[in-house]
Amino acid sequence: MGQEGPAGPAPAGLVPAEEDRAAGLVPAEEDRAAGIAPEGLAGLRWGPDGLLPAVVQDVRTGQVLMVAYMNEEALRRTLAKGTTWFWSRSRGRLWQKGETSGHRQQVREIRVDCDGDALLVLVEQVGVACHEGTYSCFRRRLPGAPAAAAPAGWFPNAPAESAAIGAVLTELAGVLAERRRHPDPGSYTARLLARWPDGPLKKVAEEAGEVLLAAKAGDRAAVVWEVADLWFHTLVVLTAMGISLDEVAAELARRRGRRRAAGERGDAPETAAGTDPQRREC
C-alpha cells in the first residue's frame, strides 16, 4: 500500500467547513463516518513511494513531537477517526500512534506546506510521543551543532513539566482556546465561557478582590494562589474576546520601549507615559 501513489479521484478536503471546527481538523460527523473530509485532498504531492512526511506538533505549545509518514489510507483514517495513523516503512503496514502504549494523539488541525509535499499535524498528546519514554522524540542535539537558547526544561518535557511562566501561559491559552472550539460539558472552562460575558467577568472581579485581601493580610502563599486564579480567569476573558497573549505582550513591550526612550531623552516619567500624571510605565 505504501509503495503506490494515490489512486482514484481526489477525496474531500483538509479543513472542516463549520466555523466551530475551523481550527481543528475534526470533520463533520457524516464525513468522519465516511472516512473522508469535506473538500478533498487535491493538491497533495505524494512521493514516488506514495508517502508524505508528517511533522507532529503539540497544538498547545508548538513543540515538535515526532516525524512519521502517511500514505493516503493513513491520512484518510486520521481524518475519519480524529487520531493519528501512519505508514510504517520498516514494517510495511499501517499503524495507529499509541496502539500498544495508549499514548494516542488527538488531532486538532492539519496543515499542508507550500509545495503540498509535507504535512503538519497539530495534536493534543496523550502521554509521551517517543517510544523511548520522552515527551518529544527530538531529545538529542546533533554533536557539534549550535545550542539554541531554548527555555530551560522545554526539551523534551511535557508542557506541564515546565514552570517557565511564558511556557505555562502559552500552554494554558492553547488549552482554553481548545475548550472554546470544542466545548466539553464536563469542563469548568467550557461552562464558564458559555456564561459569557457575565460569568468570566464576575470571576475576574472576584479574584482581583481575593488578591487584594490576601496581600493586605500579608499571606504570601494565598497571594500566589489568588494571583494564579486571577490570571486564569483573565485568560478566559482574553480567549472569549479572541485576544492573543502576543497582543498583550506587544503592548507591554511598547510601553517598556517608550519608557526606555524617555529615559534616554531625560523626559519626566509622566511625560513619557502620556498625559495622565498618575500613570507611570515600568
Q: Cα–Cα distance between 275 and 268 in angstroms, integer?
A: 11
User: What class is the 1-139+149-162 domain?
Assistant: alpha beta
Domain ranges in the chain with CATH number 3.10.20.810 = 1-139+149-162
Residue 127 has a pLDDT of 85
Residue range 163-249, CATH number: 1.10.287.1080
pLDDT of residue 24: 39
Q: Which residues contact 115 (CB under 8 A, 6 or more apart)?
A: 45
Q: What is the pTM of this model?
A: 0.50
Provide block-wise average pLDDT over 10 residues at a time, the chain (282 residues): 32 35 40 45 88 92 91 94 94 92 91 93 90 86 74 54 70 84 85 93 96 95 94 95 92 80 59 48 50
Q: What is the DSSP string of the chain?
A: -TTS---SS----SS-SSGGGTTS----HHHHHHT--SS--TT----TTS-EEEEEEETTT--EEEEEEE-HHHHHHHHHHSB-EEEETTTTEEEETTTTT---EEEEEEEE-TTSS-EEEEEEESS-SSTTS-SSS---PPTTS----PPTTTTT--GGG---HHHHHHHHHHHHHHHHHS--TT-HHHHHHHTTTHHHHHHHHHHHHHHHHHHHTT-HHHHHHHHHHHHHHHHHHHHHHT--HHHHHHHHHHHHHHHHHHHHHT--HHHHH-S-TT----
Q: Where in the chain is the domain with CATH 1.10.287.1080?
A: 163-249
- Given this model, what pLDDT does residue 42 score? 75
Tell me what pLDDT residue 155 has. Answer: 53
